[in-house]
Amino acid sequence: MKLSFETVDVFTDRRFGGNPLAVVLDGHGLASEQMQSVACEFNLAETTFVLPPEDPRHSAEVRIFTPRAELPFAGHPNIGTAFVLARLGSSYGSVLGEPLAFEEKAGLVRLDLIKEASSVIGARLAAPQPLVRGEDIAAEVVAAACSIGVGGIETANHQPRLASCGIAIAFAELKSRAALAAARPRPELFCGHLGADRATGILLHVPERDDGVDLQVRMFAPLYGVPEDPATGSANVALAGLLASLRAEPDLNLRLRSAQGIDMGRPSLLEASAEKRDGRVTGMWIGGRCVPMMQGVLEI
Known active-site residue 98: no
Q: Where are the beta strands (DSSP E) in the chain?
A: 2-10, 19-24, 46-51, 60-65, 70-71, 90-91, 94-95, 100-104, 107-116, 119-126, 132-136, 153-154, 161-164, 168-174, 202-207, 215-221, 226-229, 252-260, 268-277, 280-299
Of 6, 46, 104, 228, which residue is the catalytic one? 46
Q: Which of 234, 175, 174, 173 is nearest to 201 (CA)?
A: 234
Q: Which of 86, 83, 84 is nearest to 95 (CA)?
A: 86
Q: What amino acid occupies position 79?
A: I
Residue 39 CA, distance from chain mean position: 16
Report in angstroms the alpha-carbon separations of 93 from 24, 51, 85. 16, 12, 12
Angstrom distance (rounded) from CA 214 to CA 176: 14
Q: Which residues pair with 215 in a beta bridge?
A: 207, 258
Q: What amino acid occupies position 168?
A: A
> Catalytic residue positions?
46
